[in-house]
Amino acid sequence: MRRAVWGGAALALLATTAVLNLLAASAAEAETRMFSYDPISPDAKRLTGAGVTILFNQGLLGPGQPIKVLATGVPAQAMLKNGRQKDLGPGGLAAMDGVDADASLYEVDTKAAQGKIYVRAFCPGSTRLWLSFSTILIRRDLRIQAFGDDPKAAKDAGKDSGGKARLCGTLDFSYRGEWRLPKGRAPDPMSDWTDNPQHPDTTN
């Protein structure tokens, strides 16, 4: 009986070790990639002009995690940090109409790069800006939805909408291509652009 218990414990330990090794390998093999997108929807054309470029981390497990959003046509970028659903108001994305409830939520860092400019451009009158992203995959179109806080409503305790974020725009984009990312420097659009990346689409 004791031998069986020890045997079971050893198997459990081996399984745990295997999972940890897999997670460590996934983290070690994560890479930074950059996709560019052309605007499709009116909001995307109005707010981004020539479109957006997304810098993100791609691991073996799960979808790409955005790091920053760059305007393709002008030198403006917004650094991203993890967004909290509760900051959007009760129920988060799921409680809002016309919103992709399963999207990944991030907040623009207003203290970095051109974060404040993005807030003013995407959600005039707001002081905070959240961006939700559909799954980032190669040769897949992208949807970004922008949300801003309402400082006036937040101060009005007599209204149920106090503190609830508002949808400022739904931005749909078509996949354009991938940038090569040289080590130690930013990509050069004249030499590093590629529409034939080394990462084939294996999702089909």
Q: What is the DSSP string of 89-136?
A: -TTGGGGSTT--TTSEEEEE-TTSTTHHHHHHHHSTT-S-EEEEE---
Q: For 26-59, how does the pLDDT look when each residue is reduced to its tens digit (9 = 90+)?
A: 444 568 899 999 999 999 999 999 899 999 998 7
Strand, helix or coil for residue 50: coil
* Alpha-carbon separation of residue 48 from 24, 36, 57, 75 (angstroms): 37, 12, 22, 12
Q: What is the model's pLDDT at position 10?
A: 44
* Residue labelled with tokens 């988060």: 92
Instruction: Identify the residue with better confidence: 158 or 127.
Output: 127
Q: Indicate the average pLDDT of the chain.
A: 78
Pairing outcome for strands 31-39 and 142-148: unpaired
User: What is d(CA 184, CA 135) in angstroms, rounded to the nearest whole number?
Assistant: 27
Instruction: Identify the residue with better confidence: 44 or 12.
Output: 44
pLDDT exceeds cutoff 50 at 82 = yes
Q: What is the mean pLDDT of residues 189-200?
A: 49
pTM: 0.75
Q: What is the model's pLDDT at position 166?
A: 94
